[in-house]
Chain A
Amino acid sequence: MHLLEVVPSRCNGCGICEVACSQYCAGEANPEKSYIRVFRQEDKALAFPLVVAECNIPQDLCPCKGNGKHCPKIATTLLSCPVTQEGSLVMLCGVDCKEAVCVKFCPMEAIKIVEEISPGEKEIGLEIMANSLAMMTKK
């Protein structure tokens, strides 16, 4: 388990974190099975993703509301909302991954390990999540 910090503005959307995670942690090259997801910021001209994160915040708590349809079903706990793209995001990865391969492979240093935590310390992560969520919602 890793507590990860993601800096959305650094993400260039290459998706290497997804495929790395899926190959190391899900046994095949398949972003659909990755525990980290690249959210794509799409507008008229381009569709480069700007945010690396994934989210299983309950719909009623989600500050991005209408964008909930883009949030994939995941096994990881997101600690703040990717859609606002402000500041950095903290998230707790629920996968037992020794290397944090998303961090290792990201060429942009958009993902960092905040600290290593054991499953028993998950509560700490959840508390951070609650605080982050409260902050984001207040904004």
Chain B
Amino acid sequence: MSRGWSGQILRVDLSRMESSKEDVAPYARAFIGGKSINVKIMYDETDPKTSPFDPANKLCFGPGVLTGTLTPGAARMKVTSMSPNGLLANSGIGGFIGPEIRYAGYDNIVIQGKSDRAVYLYIHDDCVEFKDASHIWGKDIYETQQIIRDEVGSPAKVMCIGPGGEKLVSFASILTETGNAAGRGGFGAIMGSKNLKAIAVRGTRGIKIAQLEEFNKACWEAHKLIRESPGCESMVAEGDRGVLDHFYNSGMFVLGNWEEDADWSKWGRFGGNDEFFDQYTAFVGGCFGCPTYHMNIFDIPGIGIGKEKCVGWLSFSGPAWNNDRKVMVHANYLCNKYGIDVVSTGNVISFLMELRHKGIITDQDTDGVPMRRGDKEAIISTIHKIGKQEGFGKLFKDGVLEAARTIGKGAEDCAMHVKGLEMQPYEVRSYKSQALTTAVAIRDTIEGHSDIDYSWIANPDEMEKWAEELYGSREAAFPTSYEKKAIMDWDMENRNTAVDMLGVCKWHIPWDITPYLQIPAKLFFLATGVDTSEDELLTVAQKTRTLERAFNVIKGIRRKDDTLPKRLFETAAPGGLFKGQRLEKAKFDEMLDEYYELRGWDEHGVPKKKTFDKFSLASEWKVFKKNLK
């Protein structure tokens, strides 16, 4: 395993303040890398009775086998742990931290235990230092990054938590020095529960490549392919400029809390796009090794300098009834500062605005701040209150569902969550594949995201061609059709997971450039010397999904949980391109049946023995059977 893989898993025990190294080879043979090794370790080593904030819960960081190499977009890393909602989940993070971990000589990092005082880790190659963090506990993300970089005195990459994670907010995030976030899943709170403020990494050992010359050539071919593709050209030309408009025009956009009375004539038209970007963009950058640098960093007087990504635009626009781009950027900046997830925070704001609109809460319930639809102060105040865990912000420590239960008076019907996690603002009543993938996923729509229906509106010919090649139906590309959506979700989950094992950005492959994995498979082969086909990668992805599901089935997840808030089955999309579209419960159930069948799960959503057998998971089956009793 001396080529391609770094060769080691770093184990850190915060209770004992000890670290050790383990050979990655036994894991890599069956689970390749990145997310899949994370999931295998969580499955094997976490007792299902463990609660999320128990020191025994593990926190796994998994860059992929190609992370840090010349492969285009080789910047990604998956964070995997038991989420504060008690389920096994994953969240991806970009920037530069994944490559640095690889350069330091590690394929995965597994953290366990709990420190009795605030610490941060400084990993420089072989050396792992536990450093006092009492002086930075309570500092925001930006201050923390700066102090740690100054202290370690080297160009280290840092990921850390903010006050949100320290105070165990269930949707706290982990952020890098470049403002990239492992946002979803609440892993910032898991770090906080371990008294781990940050991880700083400096790596100088590098990654050895099996067939270097061929690998270099193949990397260049891949870079060229991406640069010359129409998808890349538009991204380079537009960056994230077009995101909001695309969502609006494609009918994916959500106004309010998926409410029926949303009046599209007043909200959602976003004029002045170019003027805003031209005036306030300080810098357009990207993650490590990215040919499609598309991240806008804004510098707005009175607000600050910060990055805004697609989910920030989506969460603080329509869902908060807000047309003001400055407010969107400000909200995203503050969420990053406190280290809380923008998607969940946006969801909470929509929820509060609906409750006030319906008279379920009054201004007194929100510390005198009127939660009027679109009110700037309401948006900004909510973020401060949650981040600082003050006043009504405390209500949301355990998420929107728990808050709704506490409020009562019908508030539960307004909590838009799946398995306790706040939903991403996608119009799933129209986009049928997004409805299914959101319902079955552990966290949200991204796990089974496909460009085939998402980009159909912009590029119908190409997307229909892909749909026909992959699923035998051009209609599968239509967002509102149920046709072949189960197989599409199943297939895209597999493709996305396969790429997560390699640590490469999914925007290029399998989303934007091509859904096929021959290029990643070839690069994997040349980097490691292990001859692997697209099919083999997809098989390991399915195996990973089986274990993920098995873990969560042990935690009690069944068919009843693979669903969406009832509002989405009872109401129609109130406006936009697909105005009037409904999600039929009977047809949704058919998709779910088909999806379970493809996954090898029974009608309750429980993986069957023959599925474990199919993926050579004999010992894992024994554990599963024992724990189900």
Query: What is A's interface to B at a CB cutoff of 8 Å?
Result: 12-16, 19-20, 22-24, 26-33, 40, 42-48, 50, 69-70, 104-105, 107-108
Contact = CB atoms under 8 A, between A and B. Distances in A.
B206 A45 contact: no
B206 A30 contact: yes
Nearest to B96: A15
Given A20-B70, A44-B146, A29 B288 contact: no
Contacts of B292: 107
A82 to B, nearest CB: 14
Given A29-B69, A48-B283, A107-B236, 8 more contacts: A12-B285, A14-B286, A15-B96, A23-B219, A32-B204, A42-B146, A47-B145, A107-B227
A43 B142 CA distance: 9
B383 interface: no
A133 B609 CA distance: 72
A64 B292 CA distance: 32
B360 interface: no
B94 to A, nearest CB: 11
B516 interface: no
A23 B305 CA distance: 34
B223 A29 contact: no
B207 A28 contact: yes
Given A15-B96, A107-B291, A29 B70 contact: yes
Given A30-B103, A104-B220, A48 B305 contact: no
Interface string B121-165: 000000000000000000000110110010001010000000000
B103 A42 contact: no
Contacts of A24: 216
Contact of B69 (A19, A105, A107): A19
Contacts of B205: 30
Given A29-B70, A46-B306, A12 B207 contact: no
Given A20-B70, A23-B216, A46-B178, A32 B285 contact: no
Contacts of B290: 14, 16, 107
B220 A40 contact: no
* 9 cross-chain pairs, A with B, having the tightest CB-CB distances, nearest first: A30-B206, A45-B305, A32-B204, A29-B207, A47-B177, A28-B206, A107-B291, A29-B69, A48-B285
27 contacts: A12-B283, A12-B284, A14-B285, A15-B288, A19-B68, A19-B99, A23-B209, A23-B212, A24-B216, A28-B207, A28-B209, A29-B69, A30-B207, A33-B206, A44-B143, A45-B179, A45-B306, A45-B307, A45-B333, A46-B179, A46-B307, A47-B177, A47-B178, A48-B283, A48-B297, A105-B223, A107-B293
Nearest to A72: B155
Contacts of A12: 283-286, 293
Contacts of B293: 12, 14, 107-108
Interface in B281-304: 283-293, 297, 304
Given A12-B286, A45-B142, A105 B297 contact: no
Contacts of B179: 45-46
A20 B289 CA distance: 9
B208 interface: yes
Nearest to A22: B206
B178 A48 contact: yes
A87 to B, nearest CB: 18
Contact of A46 (B143, B203, B286, B297): B297
Interface of B: 68-70, 96, 99, 102-103, 142-143, 145-146, 149, 153, 155, 177-179, 203-209, 212, 215-216, 219-220, 223, 227, 236, 283-293, 297, 304-307, 333
Among A14, A15, A24, A42, the most chain B Cβ lie within 10 Å of the Cβ of: A14
Contacts, number: 112
A50 B305 CA distance: 15
A13 B285 contact: yes
Contacts of A69: 153
A46 to B, nearest CB: 6
B220 A105 contact: yes
A13 B212 CA distance: 24
A14 B209 contact: no
A16 B216 CA distance: 12
A32 B103 contact: yes
Contacts of B103: 29-32
A23 B69 contact: yes
B123 to A, nearest CB: 15
Nearest to B68: A29
B157 to A, nearest CB: 9
A82 B304 CA distance: 25
Contacts of A105: 70, 220, 223
A90 to B, nearest CB: 24
Nearest to A44: B142
A16 B72 CA distance: 9
A70 B153 CA distance: 9
Contact of A70 (B96, B155, B178): B155
A24 B69 CA distance: 11
Contacts of B178: 46-48
Contacts of B236: 107
Contact of B289 (A16, A30, A48): A16
A44 B204 contact: no
Contacts of A19: 68-70, 99, 289
Nearest to A28: B206
B252 to A, nearest CB: 28
Contacts of A40: 155
Contact of B305 (A22, A46, A104, A107): A46
A47 B215 CA distance: 30
A56 to B, nearest CB: 17
A50 B205 CA distance: 25
